């Protein structure tokens, strides 16, 4: 059962926790940005996309 949590996500299988730990360490090492800044950065990416789509649709309908 433990192996159901593994790496190569096809549809929506959960990512493997060991691989993710290794990957996040590497990302931290390469980028050198602290967790709080990464939350803001990735959060902005996640929020901006739908907001941009909604603005475009609003403008189109206006």
Q: Which of 11, 29, 30, 32 binds other proteins (CB under 8 A)?
A: 11
Q: Which of 2, 29, 30, 32 binds other proteins (CB under 8 A)?
A: 2
Q: How far is the CB of 3 from other proteins (least distance, A)?
A: 5
Q: Which of 10, 29, 30, 32 binds other proteins (CB under 8 A)?
A: 10
| 3-class secondary-structure state, position 62 | coil
Residues from 16 through 55 that contact other proteins (CB under 8 A): 16-24, 26-27, 35-36, 38-39, 42-43, 45-47, 49-51, 53-54
Give the span between the Cα atoms of 25 and 61, in whole angstroms: 46
Nearest to 9 by CA among 24, 20, 1, 25: 20
Contact 15, 9 (CB under 8 A): yes
């Amino acid at each position: 059962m433990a192996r159901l949590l593994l790496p190569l996500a096809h549809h929506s299988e959960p990512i493997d926790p060991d691989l993710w730990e290794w990957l996040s360490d590497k990302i931290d090492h390469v980028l050198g940005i602290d967790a709080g800044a990464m939350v803001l950065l990735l959060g902005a990416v996640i929020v901006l996309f739908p907001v941009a789509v909604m603005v475009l649709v609003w403008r189109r309908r206006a």
